[in-house]
Amino acid sequence: MKNLMPRQILVSFATLCWLVLVLASPPQAQAGVVVSDPLLPPVAGWYEGDPLSQVANYTVAQATEMRMSNFRNISRTIVGADEQLNFDVTLTAMASMGGGPGIPVSFDGPLVVMVFGKAGQITGNFAAEIESANCTGSIGLLTGVIRENPAFASLGQIEIIDIGGGLYDIDSFFDIFTELSLDGGNVFTPDSNAPHHMILVPEPATLMLMVVGAAALIRRRRS
């Protein structure tokens, strides 16, 4: 068996330590995803965010463990120098009404995101904005609708880095202003804690790909 050179041992040890830290860290500490396909949105990850607190129909609605995931039915349109993303998402959370116990809820609907300066670019650091979102679901016996508040700009950032070996690292966040309706979309009330900060984190199934990406990044920095 061929002996590892000291530098190879160091790289292997660094990769192992990185894997241990990733597996032991909470999702918020694992921001960003490593992918083989740099197209947006990054389907290998989801966005997690701060708690929501809204008053609708004189009822306090609170949500924790907010997650925006399951990006699907994706279309991409070039608009001048920008790229517009249209896709469906699923919003999940633990919701409580009027201080009651939390219950799991799920909302589905379309999302529109504009990524500025992205047209024709594979990598780079891009400003972005969620232009609209309209997701419908149920909170107990009530029909709930969560949408992007059109009175404010829900801004964010997306960075795509080529780390070699056919892999890309994508980091992203959005500060989202939302509104909630508990009467099927007739009356909307804005989030009292807005903006709602959400960061991109990896799905558990992609963690091994992130380890490969870390090794590729280490080799790139050595070269």
pLDDT tens column, 111-135: 999 999 999 999 999 999 999 999 9
> For the whole model, what pTM was predicted?
0.76
Would you call 217 helix, strand, or coil by DSSP?
helix
Give yes or no for residue 221 having a pLDDT over 90. Answer: no
Q: Give how far Cα 191 sits from Cα of 12, 103, 156, 177, 221, Å.
A: 47, 19, 18, 7, 44
Average pLDDT for 51-57: 61
Residue 56 is predicted with a pLDDT of 53
Please identify which residue in the block is written with the tokens 């059109």.
Answer: 150
Give whichever of 3-17, 30-44, 92-106 has the largest mean pLDDT.
30-44
Using one digit for the tens of pLDDT, what is the confidence trace for 133-153? 999 998 777 788 999 999 999
Residue 15 is predicted with a pLDDT of 42
Average pLDDT for 68-97: 94
Q: Which letter, b or e, does each residue of 66-102 get, where b requires 16 or more Cβ atoms within 10 Å of its Cβ?
A: bbbbebeeeeeeeeeebbbbebebbbbbebbbeeeee
- At residue 20 the predicted structure's pLDDT band, cuts being 50, 70 and 90, is very low
Average pLDDT for 81-110: 89
Average pLDDT for 176-183: 89
Give yes or no for residue 25 having a pLDDT over 50. Answer: no
Residue 182 is predicted with a pLDDT of 82
